[in-house]
Amino acid sequence: MSNHNSLPPRNSVTATPPANTNGSQSKSGLVPTNNVTTSEGVTVRARIDPTLTVADVVKQLCVNLKIKGTPSDYALRDENNELVTNDNLRKKIKAKLDLKLVNAPGKEGREIADKLRERDEKTLKWTLHTLQKYIRENEFAQEFINYEGFAQLVDIIFTAQGNNTLAYALASMQNLMEFDYGWASLDDAFILRVVQILSSPQFIINVYRPATAILKKLVEADPASAPGPQVGSSKGGPAVVPGSVYRYGFSIVFEQMRKVPSLLETVVSRLGSADTGMAQYSMMLINSLLSHASDQRWEEFIAETERLQVRRAVVRLMSQHTVEGLTSCILDFQANMLRVTYRKKSTPIDLEAQPSHVADLNYIWDRSKLIEEVDENGQQLKWRKLGFDTEDIELEFNDVGVLGLECLKRFVERDPDFSKVVLEQLSRPAERRCPIAKASSEVVELLSEYWAIFAPGYSTSTTFQPFFLDFYKVHALATNFFLRMWSESGAASGDFVRVAALVRSQVKVALRSENSRAWHEVEHDLLECEYRAVRDRQMKELELEDDLLSKVPVRNLRAKIYKESYEFVRQQRIQCMLQGSWFVIALPSDSPMLRDSRRPSKPWRFMRLDNGLRYLHYVDSAMKFPVRSGLEDLPERIELAAIVEIATGTCYLPPNVVHHSDLPPTGPTTLSPLSFSLLTPHDEGGTKSLADQIAPDQSRWADWTDGLNMLRRDGGHVASKETAGFVQALTEIGLKIKLLDLSGEMVEIPSGLTAGPPPPNLDFFFSELI
């Protein structure tokens, strides 16, 4: 002990009973003091040398306060129960936070494991409530697992009767699974138990939220997600490393989901939950399932989501959501559905291996009520009656794949008079007939071009696209519009490209401002517009654009360049994050500092992505300083896997901090458009922020918000119009450069390429070009 007002010796901790407990400075004003409370409820004022390690501080406190036991059995926590570490000790001393001398995490882990083993009903709920908070700490988790606490936790999840007991147990498991160790022993029985909990109506939302998060984590824990180089491989993908938690994945989880058929339907129904956190967790699970679906179960799972009308449920969310947290999930879903649509379009029809393809074609033919015949050459006359060019049905769907077949089937389903439409075309002279099936495939191509379904990569849409999620419905409307334009324009067989151009022009008009237009306006533009008005507008458009760009080979070239442009921008964003950048530490809307006019002590934050693309390393500072390459200057870090959303425009600029920006200045009551928050799931549902910051300019903001989104395995959408604009601009520039090579040589680009007949024998070779 020392005199209350004297300075402590160098490298020491002194403690005295407090005159008051407000944590004020000593009269000398040189050494900050902190109130420290022991487990017995005794509070003293301690002056702690911030250069000491936490272990030394605890040791000296135990000596000064005559605490019995080994100092290594004790630790410090702040008033919010956060563990004091060597990294944050200085910050907590300077802030004069009240501290508590408590059991060390390791000791606490052993004691809680013992309490779980006893299964005392009176204390079990409180023990689990404590467990869910502490289990995020590495030292605690290791001791808890070593003392067989994990096995006890799993057993409680199987046997718990009360809602709260089960909720705390599941939340503890969810938090433990943030580590990449300790839960590799979870088996199929446990996964099935979680599936059963999720599908049961008897529990409360506090049970469903962590259960959903656990299932999501298991879906994402496949061998391909394991950090570091992959060890070995097999036909099914990377080999599972013994003892690794990355041994689950979509196939293992989906196998258990199939045992409870109502699960997916229940998860979809919760998208409409009044509890935003529940809707968000359900949306994230669906996104993870979509982005990790295995090739073996892909078609089965996608068919199930279509049956349950997941798209329609998400469209309803678009109009009902009021919380920023759902925006990112919806954009993630759009990006996933773009990948699904692209995969369908690039999957060829296979009549031998896929009975479903045969069934769809039979359905279309039966609804046409036509009779198969033989033409004048003795050849089969069947599919040509519906508007295909040949009888080779697999070749006819070559460009639009399974997507084209599904769209044609949906078109037939929606029109009860489909057979009359077909007969009406067949009653015309052959050259005047509109090829219905060919028109359907052309509309698929037009819509794919409009929504940039060029690649299996990420979507560049920054806004909601409810019409895209209603792809089949838009296709049916546009195909009917094609048929009407054909009739009203008196088109003949040689006018197919001209009518297609009309449809492309009207589709752009009907689908404009997609995130704000009502569906009835789209229907009006495609059902009630007159041919003359469409033609006049299209002629004006042709004066401003090159008809060359609408040709099929050019559209295919654009798709190739688009993929290259996106990957280029993605790598540029990642490189910017690897270099690092300074930000202003932002204030969230609930921060008490908004009512304080004082300048924060550390307003600056430098962030840098590590080379492994797994962590964001950062340091908070009172002023900017030259940061060395590497991570030595950046003591704190955030794991990217813990980030479920990058929320934008959610924070305020702190008072009295000069922020040089290319945007108009914002006041203390105005949200900064350059702010962004890294959000993670919260114990009580919803999300909480791991870090809030404000970028120095618009470009840096786009680099980081889009770069972080592009790195997320369960997402991939673009948040800024700047990034989307870069991708589009690079695509257009690259396309025009390529076309200059052709137009400069006056090369004629055909509207389509037709393969000639195959060689009659194998007596040929390809000559070398000289």
Q: What per-residue string of b and e applies to 551-584 under the rule 16 or more CB within 10 Å gives b?
A: bbebbebbbebbeebbeebbeebbebbeebbbbb
**pLDDT of res. 554:** 74
pLDDT value of position 754: 59
- pLDDT for the residue numbered 159: 92
- 209-222 burial string, b = 16+ CB within 10 Å, else e? bbbbbbbbbbbbbb
For the record, the structure tokens of 342 come out as 């692209």
Encode 277-309: b = buried (16+ Cβ within 10 Å), e = exposed.
Answer: bbbbbbbbbbbbbbbbbeeebebebbebbeebe
Contact status, residue 67 vs residue 5, Cβ threshold 8 Å = no
pLDDT of residue 640: 85
Buried b (16+ CB within 10 A) or exposed e, 92-109: bbeeebbbbbbbbbbbbb
Look at residue 685 in the predicted model and tell me its pLDDT: 58
List the chain residues with pLDDT less than 50. 1-10, 20-30, 663, 745, 770
Instruction: Tally helices (H) and strands (E) across the chain.
Output: 28, 18
Question: At 90, which helix (H) or strand (E)?
Answer: helix 89-94
Tokens linked to 64: 């000064």
pLDDT for the residue numbered 681: 74
pLDDT, position 2: 39
Q: Give the whole-angstrom CA distance, residue 606 versus residue 602.
A: 11
pLDDT for 318 equals 87
CATH numbers and ranges of domains, the chain = 13-103 (3.10.20.90), 355-545 (no CATH), 564-723 (2.30.29.30)
